[in-house]
Amino acid sequence: MKKIIITSIITALLSINVNAGTDGENNISKNAKPVKDCFEKLNRATFSLNKSLDNVIFEPVAKAYRVLPSPIRTGTSNALENLSSLVTVPNNVLQGELKKAGINTGRFIINTTIGILGIFDVAEKMNFPEYEKEDYGQTFGTWGAGAGCYVVLPILGPSTVRDTLGSFVNIVGGDPWYNASVNGNNHFLDDDHYVITKVLTGIDFRAKNIDSFENLEKNSVDFYASVRSLYLQDRQQKIANSNLTTETMNDGDWEEIDTK
């Protein structure tokens, strides 16, 4: 009941149109409303802060991660993707995609057991359909909730009001991490585990895209605007389940980018 109430409140908040203005608008598609950069000055300041932290902390860690043997990096990436099914499956259900929910549940069970906690993607070898991540921000979008303003979060990076509140559901609502365990042992995947997986996922994607980000920055007149555009386009395409997704190195996250 608590989760239903929280979801209802957030959906109501998202239905409110944010009219704060700026000339920084981004046309995502013909059918999508422009997403306004209502807090552009603050966003740019946060973006600069994140870039400084990246230069000092995250990029060096990502470069060290890339030195690890390929099987270790592949296994880590597979395991993190497998854990993300715990967010994808309930959102498949909330979006009415019951077939996908069944497929992804089967994928999670197979990879967690035969694939040893997801280190090996056995489901792919068994010709399961390609895995596509879903989250609460995407679910709110399919329910008709507007994106709200574009925001840049400290450390976490690009987002929107809708996507930020969607992430909030994971922590406050606790679903599905809080209920992922067996026999009522609700400490199997608690908030600490969620945060750890997010950190590892960030290191993994950053390691995959060191060169891509460097090229994007070098070839962009406005690096901030380029990242904003990539994020907003990719999010809209994922919400629409469009095949015209932003080309990426792994198509799992917007951050794995193509800078051509």
pLDDT < 50 positions in the chain: 1-30, 174-188, 245-252, 254-255, 258-260
Domain membership flag for residue 254? no
How many independent structural domains does the chain possess? 1
Is 247 inside a domain boundary? no
What domain range includes position 34?
Answer: 2-239
161 lies in some domain: yes
Does the residue 252 lie in any domain? no
Is 220 among the domain residues?
yes
Q: Is residue 253 in some structural domain?
A: no
228: helix, strand or coil: helix
User: Are the C-beta atoms of residues 104 and 82 closer than 8 Å to each other?
Assistant: no
Position 140 scores a pLDDT of 94
Which residues are CB-contacts of 247 (< 8 A; sequence separation ≥ 6)? 258, 260
Q: 163 Cβ partners below 8 Å, 6+ apart?
A: 135, 137, 147, 235
Question: How many of the other CB atoms lie within 10 Å of CB of 158?
Answer: 23
The strand ranges marked E within the chain are 25-26, 35-36, 150-153, 157-160
pTM of the prediction?
0.74
Q: Is 248 domain-assigned?
A: no
pLDDT at res. 158: 95
Rounded Cα–Cα distance for residues 217 and 219 (Å): 6
Question: What is the structure's pLDDT at 193?
Answer: 67
Residue 172 lies inside a defined structural domain of this protein: yes
